[in-house]
Structure formats: C-alpha cells, structure tokens
Structure 1
Amino acid sequence: MKIPIGFRFHPTDEELVVHYLKRKALSLPLPASVISEFDVLGTHPWSLPGEVNEKRYFFSSRGRDGGGSGGYWKPIGKEKPIIETGSNEVVGMRRALIFCGRKPSNHTNTRWFLHQYRLLHFNSTQVI
C-alpha cells in the first residue's frame, strides 16, 4: 500500500469502527484505501508488513489466535466499549492482546502488542 508523502493516518477508535470496520462489514466503499487485508493473528508479529516503528492497521477475518509455532496472541485486560459520539451508543469493542513467545520451558510475553476491534452486531471482521 502506497501512502502519499506527508499523509498521516491517525484515526480514533470510533472512526476505525464506524467509518472503516462497519463499512467493511456491510461491503460499502471505505473513505480511503489505507487498511489492507492480512492474516494478523496467524502471523508472527515480526513478519507483519509495514514499518516496525509505525502503527499498522489491518482487516483480518476472524480466525485462529496463534502466530504459528513461535507463539500466540493472548488477550490482556478487559474489553473496552467504543461509543459513537452522535448517538451515545456502544458500536464496538476493543481488546488488547500481547504476543507470547513459546520457549521449551515456559511461555514468555514479548513487546508485541495489538488492539483488536469488533462490531457488536457483526462478528466476522476485525481491524487491528
């Protein structure tokens, strides 16, 4: 995905859910083609496309929570509601996950962290 020089994609949780995730779930056109499709949960975090020091966004079909034999994504904390400003309704949820590497003797947390978004009434698509 090629983004124009100077372009910064810095959406709020509400914008991600209402303007991207919901529209994607309803097969409507997106405001911009800045979020690509990628199997995030089935990929090692160091293999994700994009710049390591930048935030990255992906649409990913609901699937396995593993990252292959090198580890798995583990939910941490509680899900947080995402509220739409105009209606004051909860339109989605956000949960945090951390990548845990598998070692022979134990499972250790890494510094790889992601937010997973879901719509309340459409569980088939996620933005990460």
Structure 2
Amino acid sequence: MERPRMPVGYKFRPSDADLIGYLALYVAGKPVNSEVCIPEKDLYSIEPWHIIQKSEERVYFLTALNKKSPLNSRYIRRVGDARGTWKSQGKGKPVYRSGCFEGREQRVIIGLKKSLRYENKTVPEQDGQYLMQQYSLTDKIKSGLKEQLKDFVLCAIKKKDGESTIIGCTREAANIE
C-alpha cells in the first residue's frame, strides 16, 4: 500500500501530546488521520544512518521495544550488529494533555518523553551524531492494552547536523531496506 505524499512545503510539526495521541490510536487499533504517515519499523535492527539521510530533519516511526527478560522492566538498546546503542539521557519528562476531565479543567499526564543519543565507539564518525525522542504511554493507559502492544513507542530521530525540512514519510520511510 502506497503511503500518502505530503504537499510541497508541508511541515509535520506535531506537539508532544499529538505524538502520544498518535501512539494511543495506533496501539488501540484505531485509524489515524490519513494525512499523518508514521510507519512501523524495528529501529533496533538497523543502524540509524541506514534509516535517516542527511537531507531529513526528523523522521517518525512506531517501534516495539524488547525487554531484557519477560519479567524485567529494562529494555535492550543495542542497535543493528550490536556495536551501537541508544543511551538514555535521563529519566524523561511527562507529557500532558489539557482538557475537561471529571467535570473540571485540568492537565493529565498521558505519556512520557525520553531523550536518547546514539553511541558507537567503534564507528567514531557516527558516535553521538543521532538523537532520538521516544514517546511512551503511561502505565495506566497501557494496562488496558493487549500484551504485545504494551511495549510500543513512537520515536522521532534526527541527525545532529540535519538542516532540511523533509520528513521520513515523504520518502516512503516504510520501504527503507
């Protein structure tokens, strides 16, 4: 199935809350706006320079995280041939949605935004050159999901020196080999 093409000059600039919303729709099996193109891809099976090109500012993907063991809450962050890894840059920040909840206006935590940096000491020219923002749902929201969907996250990846405004889905990111 061919991905929709965005009009010339269109810039996909979703808020953090919008990205959490797209993730929630995806894991709930509900349709996302047809203008939005966020493909599913295993980001841990391939090095980031094979995913994002210099001409791209930021690419968005849905990916499943793999736990170190079924009972462990930690995830495997090795990438591709295991030489590189996505290193967490802190605990993350809550993502809020404002609205009328339980009859009053309030801000509710709907997810978490975590920053990661690609590290690979065996390929020095790539070490530290890629940044990832990882968006995940709250445990409360995930508790109602099927087990195989609980570890899905939405990721935004960019190359540190990227300058263009082309996004992943305009080059049919889902078909990257």
- TM-score normalized with structure 1 length: 0.85
Distance 1:112 1:49 in 2: 9
Deviation readout 1:14-66 (Å, 9 max, x if unpaired): 01102x01100100000134111111133211011566431110011122421
Q: Deviations over 1:49-87 (max 9, x none)?
A: 566431110011122421123311111122100001114
Give the structure with the higher percent strand: 1
Show CA shifts across 1:68-112 (max 9, x none).
Answer: 2331111112210000111411000010111110329xxx94121
Q: Does 1:28 align with 2:30?
A: yes
Counting matched residue pairs gives: 125
Amino acid at match of 2:151: S
Among all aligned residue pairs of Structure 1 and Structure 2, give the percentage whose two residues are the same amino acid. Answer: 25
Give the secondary structure class of the aligned counterpart of 2:92: strand
* Partners of 2:53 and 2:33 in 1: CA distance: 21
Structure 2, gaps ≥5 residues long: 67-75, 100-105, 143-149, 156-177
Does 1:119 pair with 2:140?
A: no
| Structure ID, larger Rg | 2
User: Moved runs in structure 1, 4+ residues, more than 3 A?
Assistant: 49-53
| Partner of residue 98 from structure 1, selected from 99, 117, 125 | 117
Most deviating of 3-12 and 88-97: 3-12
Tell me which of the two structures has the higher relative contact order, counting C-alpha pairs closer than 8 angstroms and 6 or more residues apart: 2
The match for 2:98 among 65, 75, 85 is 85
Q: Over aligned residue pairs, what C-alpha RMSD do you find?
A: 2.3
Partners in 2 of 1:36 and 1:52 — Cα distance?
A: 19
Instruction: For residue 85 of structure 2, give the secondary structure of its aligned residue in structure 1.
Output: strand
Give the whole-Å Cα distance in 2 for the aligned partners of 1:52 and 1:66.
25
Change in Cα spacing, 1:117 to 1:28, as seen in structure 2 (3 Å) is: same
Whole-angstrom CA distance in 2 between matches of 1:124 and 1:88: 24
- Matched with 1:61 is 64
Q: Secondary structure at the match of 1:88?
A: strand
Q: Is the 8 A contact 1:60 1:126 kept in 2?
A: yes
Q: State yes or no: 1:6 paired with 2:6.
A: no
Provide the C-alpha distance between the structure 1 equivalents of 2:42 and 2:53, rounded to a whole number of angstroms. 14
| Deviation at residue 7 of structure 1 after TM alignment | 1.8
